[in-house]
């Protein structure tokens, strides 16, 4: 006799969601909502008019109020939380949601969240990570947002087994699916099997462009990825924003994920070419909300 | 025999600064630096190329790091602190510099600084106001900013005798001049005479456009004000930013001080017409730095 967990995980996610088992399921996911007005409006456009099926919000960021108001007014839009433990830009910063002195191990010398994941890992105390993540969920709920999923900005909250365990625990508590990825776990050598239940969903593959892909051309990279998509559940992570003054200034002096990168992501995932490709390749776009409501909150 | 204070205040500010006593001294002052990238770059341009002689920075705001880096790299630029006790915009918010739970009387239900001065006045505890103002000064110093003056965003820190007393006390402690205005004090019925010393400077007049002036036309308003300028020390407060997507989104749904208003301020104070008017009217532009170094730190 196999355990319930093993049974749930043996059935493919396609079957658990009610699709034929060889369906190519894809979540086209925009990260970083709330970081700027440019990111908010471009991402909303890419969801309303393009093929972006899901996105996640950074609660500590200055433009959180704007996207939270949108989420509250559009409860069918698939918006989760991009759990944020870093403030990575040079000229534009944010502070944690929890009281500073209760999460001081997460802060730099100026009281902002740390710039890098390395700095985060060096000092972060587990209980303070949990406190800040919980504060972000509670703050979102206070603004009328019912998050469809939880993921991790810059991967910080995924970066060790202990942090991932806390994130999954919060997901169970609030009945919100967490992006648990075979790829990430393999890359980081994290064994998540002890933390998951039959209510969790393990993503088969995560696709995200690298700096090399950006320099070789985003359209070419995404086209190849969509053409090569395999059955199972894939999450494609992108960052949509307009290449305008605000976004150029935010991303100044950073090598990757700049304003032009985000504009190219926006361009591709709002293009007719991308829509046709998804239809031609018989890719089924799904949302975290569908996963949440059919599996986690069933 | 008169007291030292009375003697200092009897001499005109022109004489104390070494100018003939009937000189028309003017500080053309941009408020709100740090609030946005748009405000930062427009204000810097208006100082470098236009007639803006002074400006002040909002330390709790998201773009503080950008303007602080500029201030550090340009120590001769006249940059003070726009002491900030409110976060007034609808979709774009900031938190205090001091730990939340030590200044909780200054916060709204979401942990942001209050939206209105009325809400601030309703709950603010004096010792928490002092703590937040001190934290803002210390944070600026930590970033390498040596403030030339202190003033008050939305007038909150000027709004009662007790708060003004705290601000003046901090000015004395850090040897930074505070904008003490006969006009403000009269309007608010605040008697500052017990708080000031011979190191303080009392501004004769403060000019700031109202909503009515904006609707009647900024160029007309500022032209009249400059043509009617009287001898003494006048401070003209303006808000320079570009009327771009970022600034439009920040100021959304607000009646006054919108993106177009700020663009018009920028346009006038970078215009040749304004420069010629200042020359024709024999107006002497001065800075808070000059006041600080000749009087407060003498």
**3-class DSSP state of A206:** strand
Averaged pLDDT for residues B173-194: 91
CB contact (8 A) between residue A62 and residue B92: yes
pLDDT in tens, A14-60: 999 999 999 999 999 999 999 999 999 999 999 999 999 999 999 99
Instruction: Determine the Cα–Cα distance for residues A151 and B9; give it in Å rounded to an integer.
Output: 62
Give how far B295 is from chain A: nearest CA, Å: 32
pLDDT band at B268 (very low <50, low <70, confident <90, very high): very high
A268 touches chain B (CB under 8 A): no
CB contact (8 A) between residue A250 and residue B101: no
Residues in chain B within 8 Å Cβ distance of A142 = 109-110
Averaged pLDDT for residues B173-195: 91
By Cβ distance, the residue of A92, A101, A245 closest to B63 is A92
Residues in chain B within 8 Å Cβ distance of A111 = 97, 139
CB contact (8 A) between residue A62 and residue B94: yes
Residue B190 has pLDDT above 70, yes or no: yes
- For residue A194, give both structure tokens: 């002890």
Give the whole-number percent of chain A exceeding pLDDT 70: 97
B115 touches chain A (CB under 8 A): no
pLDDT in tens, A137-154: 999 999 999 999 999 999
Q: Find which of B94, B242, B246 to mutate to test the A interface (most A CBs within 10 Å of its CB).
A: B246
Beta-bridge partners for B203: B181
B123 touches chain A (CB under 8 A): no
Q: What is the mean pLDDT of chain A?
A: 95
Residues in chain B within 8 Å Cβ distance of A143 = 110
Which pLDDT value is given to residue A182? 87
Which pLDDT value is given to residue B18? 95
Of A175-189, B116-130, B164-178, give the lowest mean pLDDT range: A175-189
CB contact (8 A) between residue B101 and residue A97: no
pLDDT band at A216 (very low <50, low <70, confident <90, very high): very high
Q: Closest Cα partner for B82 from B38, B42, B31, B158? A: B31
Contact A150, A170 (CB under 8 A): yes
**3-class DSSP state of B41:** helix
User: What number of CA atoms fall less than 13 Å from residue A7's CA on the CB side?
Assistant: 4
User: What number of CA atoms fall less than 13 Å from residue B246's CA on the CB side?
Assistant: 27
Instruction: Determine the Cα–Cα distance for residues B31 and B189; give it in Å rounded to an integer.
Output: 24
CB contact (8 A) between residue A142 and residue B111: no
Which pLDDT value is given to residue A7? 60
Q: Find which of A42, A100, A112, A141 to mutate to test the B interface (most B CBs within 10 Å of its CB).
A: A100
Are β-strands A24-33 and B232-238 bridged in parallel, bridged antiparallel, or unpaired?
unpaired
Residue A79 has pLDDT above 60, yes or no: yes
Helix (H) or strand (E) holding A197: none
pLDDT band at B8 (very low <50, low <70, confident <90, very high): low
Instruction: Determine the Cα–Cα distance for residues A133 and A130; give it in Å rounded to an integer.
Output: 5
Give how far B216 is from chain A: nearest CA, Å: 30
Q: Closest Cα partner for B226 from B209, B212, B203? A: B209
**Dihedrals phi, psi of A58, to nearest 5 degrees:** -95, 105
Instruction: Determine the Cα–Cα distance for residues B212 and B295; give it in Å rounded to an integer.
Output: 37
Which pLDDT value is given to residue A65? 98
**Of B188 and A265, more confident:** A265
B101 touches chain A (CB under 8 A): yes
Contact A228, A236 (CB under 8 A): no
pLDDT band at B5 (very low <50, low <70, confident <90, very high): low
Task: Report the sign of the C-alpha dihedral through residues B105, B108, B114, B119, in that order.
Answer: negative
Which pLDDT value is given to residue A3? 61
Give the whole-number percent of chain A exceeding pLDDT 90: 90
A73 touches chain B (CB under 8 A): no
**Dihedrals phi, psi of B35, to nearest 5 degrees:** -70, -35
Contact B241, B268 (CB under 8 A): no
By Cβ distance, the residue of A66, A92, A111 closest to B66 is A92
Which pLDDT value is given to residue A2? 54
CB contact (8 A) between residue A64 and residue B38: no
CB contact (8 A) between residue A244 and residue B246: yes
Q: What is the mean pLDDT of chain B?
A: 95
Instruction: Determine the Cα–Cα distance for residues B167 and B157; give it in Å rounded to an integer.
Output: 7
CB contact (8 A) between residue A92 and residue B37: yes
Task: Report the sign of the C-alpha dihedral through residues B238, B242, B247, B248, in that order.
Answer: positive
A72 touches chain B (CB under 8 A): no
By Cβ distance, the residue of B94, B142, B246 closest to A37 is B246
pLDDT band at A66 (very low <50, low <70, confident <90, very high): very high
Averaged pLDDT for residues B149-172: 96
Supply the pTM of this predicted model: 0.94
Of A171-180, B29-38, B40-49, B185-194, give the lowest mean pLDDT range: B185-194
pLDDT band at B183 (very low <50, low <70, confident <90, very high): confident
B249 touches chain A (CB under 8 A): yes
Count of A-B CB contacts under 8 Å: 84
Averaged pLDDT for residues A174-203: 92
A139 touches chain B (CB under 8 A): yes
DSSP string, chain A: ---HHHHHHHS-HHHHTTS-TT-EEEEEEEEEETS-HHHHHHHHHHHHTSS--EEEE-TTSTTHHHHHHHHHH-TTS-EEEEE------SS-----SS-GGGSGGGB-TTSSBPSSHHHHHHH--HHHHHHHHHHHHHHHHHTT---S-EEEGGGGGGSSHHHHHHHHHHHHHHT--B-EEHHHHHHHT---TTT--TT--EESEEEE--HHHHHH-HHHHHHHHHHTPPSEEEEEEE-----SHHHHHHTTT-SSS-HHHHHHHHHHHTSHHHHHHHHHTTEEE--HHHHIIIIIT-
Q: Closest Cα partner for B53 from B278, B256, B220? A: B278
A38 touches chain B (CB under 8 A): yes
Residue A1 has pLDDT above 60, yes or no: no
pLDDT in tens, B245-259: 999 999 999 989 999
Residues in chain B within 8 Å Cβ distance of A36 = 246
Which pLDDT value is given to residue A255? 82
Give how far B127 is from chain A: nearest CA, Å: 18
By Cβ distance, the residue of B62, B90, B244 closest to A94 is B62
Instruction: Determine the Cα–Cα distance for residues A18 and A94; give it in Å rounded to an integer.
Output: 41
pLDDT band at B55 (very low <50, low <70, confident <90, very high): very high
Q: Which residue of B has its CA nearest to A94?
A: B62
Residue B109 has pLDDT above 90, yes or no: yes
Averaged pLDDT for residues B73-79: 98
Give how far B107 is from chain A: nearest CA, Å: 12
pLDDT band at B203 (very low <50, low <70, confident <90, very high): very high
């Amino acid at each position: 006799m196999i355990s319930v967990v093993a049974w749930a995980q043996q059935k493919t996610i396609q079957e658990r969601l009610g699709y034929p088992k060889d369906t190519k399921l894809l979540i086209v996911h925009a990260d970083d909502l709330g970081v700027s007005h440019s990111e908010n409006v471009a991402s909303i456009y890419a969801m309303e008019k393009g093929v972006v099926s899901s996105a996640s919000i950074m609660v500590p960021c200055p433009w959180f109020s704007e996207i939270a108001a949108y989420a509250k007014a559009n409860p069918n839009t698939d918006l989760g939380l991009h759990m944020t433990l870093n403030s990575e830009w040079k000229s534009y910063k944010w502070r944690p949601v929890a009281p500073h002195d209760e999460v001081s191990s997460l802060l730099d010398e100026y009281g902002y969240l740390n710039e890098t994941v390395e700095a985060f890992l060096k000092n972060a105390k587990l209980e303070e990570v949990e406190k800040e993540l919980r504060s972000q969920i509670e703050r979102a709920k206070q603004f009328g947002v019912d998050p469809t999923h939880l993921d991790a900005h810059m991967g910080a909250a995924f970066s060790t087994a202990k942090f991932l365990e806390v994130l999954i625990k919060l997901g169970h508590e609030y009945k919100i699916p967490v992006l648990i990825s075979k790829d990430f776990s393999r890359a980081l050598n994290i064994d998540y099997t002890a933390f998951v239940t039959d209510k969790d969903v393990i993503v088969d593959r995560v696709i995200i462009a690298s700096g090399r892909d950006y320099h070789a051309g985003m359209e070419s990279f995404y086209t190849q990825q969509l053409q090569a998509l395999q059955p199972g559940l894939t999450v494609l992570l992108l960052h949509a924003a307009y290449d305008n003054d605000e976004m150029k200034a935010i991303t100044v002096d950073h090598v990757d994920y700049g304003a032009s990168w985000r504009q190219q992501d926006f361009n591709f995932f709002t293009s007719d070419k991308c829509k046709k490709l998804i239809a031609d390749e018989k890719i089924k776009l799904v949302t975290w909300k569908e996963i949440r409501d059919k599996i986690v909150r069933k």
